[in-house]
Chains A and B, each alone.
Chain A
Amino acid sequence: MTLMVLGISVLVTQLMLGAAMLCCTWRVLRGPRAQDRVVGLDALYVCGMLLVLTFGIRSGTAVYFEAALVIALLGFVGTAALAKFLMRGEVIE
């Protein structure tokens, strides 16, 4: 009973986060401008990180935590670099 309730909640959570990722992906693909795509990508990696955490809850192992931490770190660096690119058209000057 407990397993079923938990399993269904985690499944619904994952479906919702998956739908959120689809919304973000749509924004990345459609734009219309470069800054819209960057904001979409920023939201996409946060949703992805949360999805990885829920996989951790499903499997009951802490391995997924590290993956989520790496996604959070790289997402920040990536968005910062892209914002720099938007500003000047180059990442390295």
Chain B
Amino acid sequence: MTPEAAALPWIVVVPVCLLLLIGAGLTLVGAFGLLRLNSFYARVHAPTLGTSYGMGCILLASMLFFSALGTRLVIHEIAIGAFVILTTPVTLMLVARAAMHRDRLEGQRGVPQAARPD
């Protein structure tokens, strides 16, 4: 750790540590879901754990830490957060649609043929 961090008060250190651990824990559970779930469409849900509150907690910890370290407001992490929140649904929808298209072409069973129920 950087030596300047020794001067941080406990009221900052404890939330930073908790937020880091919770965020990393959620991200790890999400990544573990990639291993654990057994169908492609179920696995699409797993990474959103990391990109929603997993990322949110770690970004919040980073904002708190640098704001306390520099004694000024450091909130440029919001830019990363906004960007990831906006792009994750787009990429996941693109991949899910592409997978659906491929499954239908290959005639996989258990995949709905259209958005309209038959």
A–B direct contact (CB < 8 Å): yes
**Which residues of A are in contact with B by a Cβ distance under 8 Å?**
2-3, 5-7, 9-10, 12-14, 16-17, 19-21, 23-24, 26-27, 33-36, 38-40, 42-43, 46-47, 49-50, 53-54, 56-62, 65, 68-69, 72-73, 76, 79-80, 82-84, 86-87
The size bracket of the interface on B is: 35 or more
Q: How far is the CA of A10 from the CA of B92 in the complex (A)?
A: 29
Assess the A62–B74 pair: CB atoms within 8 A.
yes
| B111 interface residue (CB < 8 Å to A) | no
Assess the B43–A36 pair: CB atoms within 8 A.
yes
The secondary structure that dominates the A interface is helix
Residues of A within 8 A of B65 (CB): 57
Assess the B2–A39 pair: CB atoms within 8 A.
no
With most chain A CB atoms within 10 A of its CB, the pick from B46, B51, B95 is B95
**Nearest Cβ distance between residue B99 and chain A, in whole angstroms?**
4
Assess the A49–B80 pair: CB atoms within 8 A.
yes
- Whether A3 contacts B1 in the complex (CB less than 8 A), given A35-B40, A60-B69, A83-B94, comes out as yes
